[in-house]
Structure 1
Amino acid sequence: MGFKGIVISTLLSLFVGVAPQSTGLAPKKFLSLPLGAVKPSGWLHDQLLVQANGLAGHEHDFYDYVAQSDWIGGDSYYSNLEEAGSYWFNGMAPTGVLLNDATIQNQTRQFLDYVLDHQDSDGWLGPEVGTTKPRYLWGRYPFFFGAIQMVEADPSLTDRVVTALHNFTSLANTMLHQGQGVEDWAKTRWEDYVMALQWLYDFHPNGKEDILIDTMKMLKWTGDPWELVFANASFPKGPVEHLSNPFPVLTWHGVNMAEGLKALPSTYRFTHNQSDLDAASLGWDLLFQYHGRPSGIYAADEYLAGLEAVRGAELCLVVETMFSGSYLYQVIGDPKFADRVERITYNALPATLTGGEYLRFEPAVHVLTTRLRLSFVDMWSRQYLQQQNQIAAQNMSPNPFPEDGPYSNVFGLEPNYPCCTVNHPQGWPKFVSNSFVTTADQSGLVHVYLGPLSVNTTLAKGNNVTVNVETIYPFSDTVSTTVQADQAFTYYVRVPSWVSGGNFTVNGAEAKAFSPDQGTGLQAIPVSAGTTTISMNFPAEITIEQRPHGSVAVHRGPLHYAFDIPRDSTVLTKDAQEPRAQDLQFEATAEWQYAIDPSTLTFHAGSPDGGKLPSPVFDKGLSPFTITATACPVDWATAGDTFAASPPTNPNCTGSATTITLSPFGTTKLRIGEFPTFNATGPGQ
């Protein structure tokens, strides 16, 4: 029958034989709030501000792929919506709104206007208008997300954007039925367009429900079969570079898989098949079981890479997995998705961006010259790939990444590929926007991701509600929330799975232990009309995660802890137009080859000055939370001084025991996150 025949036969049996006789779209478990209803405060606001003042907020000024001078009348990614412009727009549209930044809002509005002003008479969006270029669908999908967010924040844009999306969909539907517009990337990322179509169906169908549903179905049938990719029998259980993929090869591509996690929950909404949700949940579990990292993310450098600590995790897949996990939680309601997203956000995301540090300059042709201290740099450089055990960030020889270049873990403007430069800005703002949702009937408000936030929304029956959350979580266990409401309602708080002995008080009454719903992880708290204060405590124990070669990873609460290797910073190059955009090399300046005794781990909760975290907080020595461990030096091989070999199993100490300090993973740029172990009280110690 062949691959295509097997896929079609299997999908038809799933879709036709199982689907109930239902019409329309199935409801989600929770509903997202429009952009701007949830705002960051405290350190989260500072984090978005640092990002806006860094590389993300200045790309429009100088970066070739998105600079305005390159897209008006030009042939750059920005104007042709093939990738970079859409990515940038998708991340900066919410950034401008959440920060109330007029400059960024003007830039994203100009982008929106330019794209819509140049829509073809047949509905096409992009530079292919009036040309002989082939038309492919996928590059427009991030643009749709950005446009939808702008409508949510500014309803005056509704008619213009909705009309443009409907006109494009009419054309896309015809193209799909004629076998046009779908290439390898569109075949993997069809779910993004399905989600945009479902937004139209839910809020602005304009009498076009049938063509919207039909287009969703066509996208699925012309796309890669994610329910089969995520099946246990065919899912890769280790690095894939030497495996044969029974499906199109791009399904094992890391970022495609991150986006593909949204495919089955989006499919469920029009198939009404529980099997779609079951397959989505299984796929999530398999992905992290066989490729997961203690930092929350999974390894893919460029394709799925297994469990070894030296293999890479791409920044694009970090932010895409965060977005997919939020969507999965909103459709299915399983708290494992929200727990994972929070862990990724507070560990893997900041670890791959510069926080703030003093840099030195060393011309490449004068490697022995004196290094001169330059300026303090905040979030101006990013990696393409991060590693769990990362002992250097430099041009690597040999290179541990079979599909990516040796420059991939340098911090810079565009190491390896440019996609992460334009795509990473969606991470923080979308995390904020998805931190609160409502119940399906919009009668209850749900606090999903813990952090400093504010909310202003209207629930069912005209119930105006405002919420102010004060906390420095995850650098504190306490959260203080003030709720003001016109009418009584139920306020829900997600209680993470790692909480041990947590409790809450309402209006200063006696504390009650958390007893969250097992299905959703939510604690229901009745709130009266008027003002209600809720104080919550989310304590956690230190936990140990077993990793390959007998190594261990250390966790407490949402934070993963690693040894922050002292480092030297060197500027390799600067962008000619924007010298703050620098490529940085980090080298270790101290020993890192340690084994730890897990029985000696001790948590230390410091108090930040004035109760306020430094900004940016994700860098060396800035976290008030640390963990100490008894450690000893061990023999641990390196490859060309650029990356660490696998942790040695049951190593012997080569020196006296000492105490080392572990810091939150996101604050480290060079680190050991997976340690060999020893017994500090054993013979000879």
Structure 2
Amino acid sequence: MARLFSLALLVGAGCVYAQSSSGLAPKKYEYLPLGAVKPAGWLYDQLIVQTNGLAGHEHDFYALVAQSDWIGGDSDYSDLEEAGSYWFNGMVPNGVLVDDPTIKSQTQQFLDYVLDHQDETGWFGPEVNTTKPRYLWGRYPFMFGAIQIAESDPAQVGKIVPALHKFVALANSMLKNGEGLNDGGWAKTRWEDFVITLQWLYDNHPDGHEDLLLETMKLLKWTGDPWEEVFSAQYFPTGPTEDLQNPFDLPLVWHGVNMAEGLKALPATYRFTHNQSDLDRVSEGWDLLFKYHGRPSGIYAADEYLAGLEAIRGGSYLYQVIGDPKYADRVERITYNALPATLTGDMWARQYLQQQNQIAAKNMTPNPFPNDGSYSNVFGLEPNYPCCTVNHPQGWPNIVANSFLTTPDKQSLVHLYLGPFSTNTTLANDNQVTVNVDTLYPFGDTLATTITASKDFTYYVRIPSWVTQGTIAVNGGAAQGVAPQNGLHAVQVKAGTTKFVLDLPAEITTEARPHGSIAVHRGPLHYAYDIARNATVLVQRAEARAQDLEFDATAPWQYAIDPSSLKFNNNPPASGSLPSPIFDSGLPPYTISASACQVEWGVAGDTFAASPPENPACVGAKTTITLWPFGATKLRIGEFPVVDLSKQ
């Protein structure tokens, strides 16, 4: 299955794989089963923080996923319509990766209940034998979670796979009868999720149902929204969409989450159409999306629907199928910037929408978000729609689970996402391989990797596009320059133990943004000015840690910076380990200093910054400000007006 952030020519690093003439074309890379890759170091701690935070406790008190709800709830978000499926899909990998017995028990109970209540037609429970309309989409995240349990615990394959095949047979007949699609709803836009489940069955457990699986994939494609047209330059929106007429009369395709889902559609259909045009179009669509709606934090803007480039407004599967390193680079930026920025450091509260320039997190007046509520910036339990409350825990587990891949022939291992990991797997010819990666990355430039293998093989490690003058030293030898091909550097591993050290430095870079402003980057991290703040509790619940919090600035934020003055500062922790949690004010060891001055910079209403002023004049003395990794900031300026302070 494809996991969150998952982003095909069939040309491997050093190999060419033949495209099959029928059935499913192979992916360029295959992910490892859940549990084969484990987090280490600060990344393991990040999952522990999540486990101890809101995500790990929702089952205890949050009505939409508490047991009483999925046994008999009837809200739009309950059961397998959305909330239960989302929660299950995120918490299965969380529980496995930190081996948490409570979460594993909760997700197992959820799985068992649903499978035990599958009715004779194949429909997944709990809401069976009711008059409730049957819509397919809500079951897709549940199936993703069930697949992950089957991968991490093969003993459960015998009950999970037959249940999936039974549901597929029912869905096939429903699609032929025009049922289950809920016109104007998620099923028609998110059909690719079901296709990916069908492909997992086809690749791993077809059980003689290959023709039915392929037919169902095609039915989903041709009854779903046309992503090949949505992602064409002719129709793609180049700015905010709230005042635009959708050319397909399908407004949900411009919905932010649906757009992310749609990026998986064409790589998925390529596997059964074998059309290079599918891959070309999704690559074009990816570039259009980030050209017109991208943010320096890695993500793209959508306050429910695509929102353009303005700073005041709020995958791995693609790489596995296509192999273009631009997808992996973007996923890493999102994970290490946008994801932690939308959560409090202890992960007990989250936002629905985040802003590049965010001078307050409160009930906003006037509301700058045309399609979402004024409460969307608040850090809390459910600051807008509840979908993100139950779905946000997918991010950290899925970056871990997708960080190592194999080539289709299982001869080689690929380290895709950089960070502290360990993995234990068996490659082709019974080659037993373990890998341990010791690093503070992205809060350090050095990765020390130890590999043990029973046989020789080629190991690949991704070298991000932002690396300058990277080096590798193998088994204590002299450092040599890295030489990546299509983003991957090859290391020839001998049987026994191989050790190598990667040094992956990066330069400070600036990115042009609207109104003559700039964003600042170094490596995968985006840097922002962390605005001093106070916190006010807006809502206090019976679960005392699940508060709604308003943040207000307590210091000036109206700074312009001189780009020529940017200086990188590395303050490695004396203990060798990072603080916990790492993504909070003043904690990361990397900063960038900048010469700055205060400028006239207005607000819109009293809660959010106006667009950065162009060509501003200083109204205060020259000073030095510190920029911190974006993910550690909760109020921030991430896009700065520019001044020349060289003569001051």
How far the C-alpha of 1:569 sits from its partner, in A, is 1.1
Alignment of 1:610-629 (within 5 A): 610-629=575-594
Partner of 2:115: 116
Which aligned runs of 4 or more in structure 1 are off by greater than 6 angstroms?
none
Q: Deviations over 1:108-130 (max 9, x none)?
A: 00000000000010101134411
Partner of 1:413: 381
Partner of 1:147: 146
- One-letter code of the match for 2:55? A
CA–CA distance in structure 1, aligned partners of residues 523 and 90 of structure 2: 28
Partner of 2:463: 495
Q: Under a length normalisation based on structure 2, what TM-score does the superposition of the two structures give? A: 0.96
Aligned length: 627
Q: Deviations over 1:321-352 (max 9, x none)?
A: xxxx1000000000000000000000000000
CA–CA distance in structure 2, aligned partners of residues 414 and 484 of structure 1: 46
Structure 1 position 438 matched with structure 2 position 406: yes
Partner of 2:180: 181
How far the C-alpha of 1:570 sits from its partner, in A, is 1.3
1:599 maps to which of 545, 559, 564: 564
Partner of 1:195: 196
CA–CA distance in structure 1, aligned partners of residues 154 and 78 of structure 2: 25
Confirm or deny: 8 A CA contact 2:72 2:127 kept in the other structure: no
Matched position secondary structure for 1:294? coil
Structure 1 position 86 matched with structure 2 position 85: yes
Structure 1 position 163 matched with structure 2 position 162: yes
1:609 maps to which of 562, 574, 589: 574
Confirm or deny: 8 A CA contact 1:77 1:85 kept in the other structure: no
Structure 1 position 638 matched with structure 2 position 603: yes
Partner of 2:298: 296
- One-letter code of the match for 1:224? D
Structure 1 position 579 matched with structure 2 position 544: yes
CA–CA distance in structure 1, aligned partners of residues 360 and 467 of structure 2: 34
CA–CA distance in structure 1, aligned partners of residues 461 and 77 of structure 2: 40
Partner of 1:560: 526
How far the C-alpha of 1:78 sits from its partner, in A, is 7.5
CA–CA distance in structure 2, aligned partners of residues 390 and 262 of structure 1: 31
Coordinate RMSD, CA, aligned: 1.0
Partner of 2:433: 465
Q: Deviations over 1:250-308 (max 9, x none)?
A: 00000000111100000000000000000111111100000000000000001000000
CA–CA distance in structure 2, aligned partners of residues 159 and 432 of structure 1: 26
Partner of 2:507: 541
How far the C-alpha of 1:77 sits from its partner, in A, is 6.3
How far the C-alpha of 1:80 sits from its partner, in A, is 2.8
Confirm or deny: 8 A CA contact 2:316 2:331 kept in the other structure: yes
Confirm or deny: 8 A CA contact 2:69 2:79 kept in the other structure: no
Confirm or deny: 8 A CA contact 1:390 1:672 kept in the other structure: yes
Partner of 1:322: none
- One-letter code of the match for 1:349? L
Do the aligned partners of residues 21 and 432 (structure 1) sit closer, same or farther apart at CA in structure 2, a change above 3 Å counting? closer
How far the C-alpha of 1:681 sits from its partner, in A, is 2.3
Partner of 2:12: none
Confirm or deny: 8 A CA contact 1:79 1:126 kept in the other structure: no
CA–CA distance in structure 1, aligned partners of residues 126 and 111 of structure 2: 14
Matched position secondary structure for 2:432? strand
1:343 maps to which of 329, 333, 339: 333
CA–CA distance in structure 1, aligned partners of residues 52 and 76 of structure 2: 23
Partner of 1:365: none
Structure 1 position 387 matched with structure 2 position 387: no
1:590 maps to which of 532, 551, 555: 555
1:677 maps to which of 623, 634, 642: 642
For structure 2, which runs of at least 5 residues remain unmatched after alignment?
1-18
Matched position secondary structure for 1:571? strand
CA–CA distance in structure 1, aligned partners of residues 132 and 118 of structure 2: 15
Partner of 2:130: 131
Partner of 2:8: none
How far the C-alpha of 1:639 sits from its partner, in A, is 1.5
Confirm or deny: 8 A CA contact 1:72 1:79 kept in the other structure: no
1:522 maps to which of 469, 488, 507: 488
Partner of 1:204: 205
Structure 1 position 61 matched with structure 2 position 51: no
How far the C-alpha of 1:74 sits from its partner, in A, is 3.6
CA–CA distance in structure 2, aligned partners of residues 345 and 70 of structure 1: 31
CA–CA distance in structure 2, aligned partners of residues 59 and 574 of structure 1: 16
CA–CA distance in structure 2, aligned partners of residues 514 and 416 of structure 1: 46
Confirm or deny: 8 A CA contact 1:264 1:276 kept in the other structure: yes
Alignment of 1:248-287 (within 5 A): 248-287=250-289
CA–CA distance in structure 2, aligned partners of residues 282 and 75 of structure 1: 41
Partner of 1:227: 228
CA–CA distance in structure 1, aligned partners of residues 78 and 557 of structure 2: 47
Confirm or deny: 8 A CA contact 1:489 1:528 kept in the other structure: yes
CA–CA distance in structure 2, aligned partners of residues 487 and 46 of structure 1: 33
Confirm or deny: 8 A CA contact 1:617 1:667 kept in the other structure: yes
CA–CA distance in structure 1, aligned partners of residues 339 and 237 of structure 2: 25
CA–CA distance in structure 1, aligned partners of residues 189 and 392 of structure 2: 20
Matched position secondary structure for 1:586? strand
- Aligned identity (percent) is 72
CA–CA distance in structure 1, aligned partners of residues 273 and 608 of structure 2: 47
Matched position secondary structure for 2:612? coil
CA–CA distance in structure 1, aligned partners of residues 417 and 93 of structure 2: 17
Greater shift, 128-137 or 142-151, is seen at 128-137
- One-letter code of the match for 2:422? S
CA–CA distance in structure 2, aligned partners of residues 445 and 159 of structure 1: 29
Structure 1 position 647 matched with structure 2 position 612: yes
Confirm or deny: 8 A CA contact 1:66 1:77 kept in the other structure: no
Structure 1 position 451 matched with structure 2 position 453: no
CA–CA distance in structure 2, aligned partners of residues 487 and 498 of structure 1: 33
How far the C-alpha of 1:609 sits from its partner, in A, is 2.7
Q: Under a length normalisation based on structure 1, what TM-score does the superposition of the two structures give? A: 0.91
Confirm or deny: 8 A CA contact 1:28 1:332 kept in the other structure: yes
CA–CA distance in structure 1, aligned partners of residues 76 and 272 of structure 2: 33
- One-letter code of the match for 2:190? R
CA–CA distance in structure 2, aligned partners of residues 73 and 583 of structure 1: 28
- One-letter code of the match for 2:606? D
How far the C-alpha of 1:21 sits from its partner, in A, is 9.3
Matched position secondary structure for 2:302? coil
CA–CA distance in structure 2, aligned partners of residues 287 and 74 of structure 1: 38
- One-letter code of the match for 1:414? E
Do the aligned partners of residues 77 and 157 (structure 1) sit closer, same or farther apart at CA in structure 2, a change above 3 Å counting? farther
CA–CA distance in structure 2, aligned partners of residues 21 and 611 of structure 1: 49
How far the C-alpha of 1:79 sits from its partner, in A, is 6.0
- One-letter code of the match for 2:493? V
How far the C-alpha of 1:564 sits from its partner, in A, is 0.2
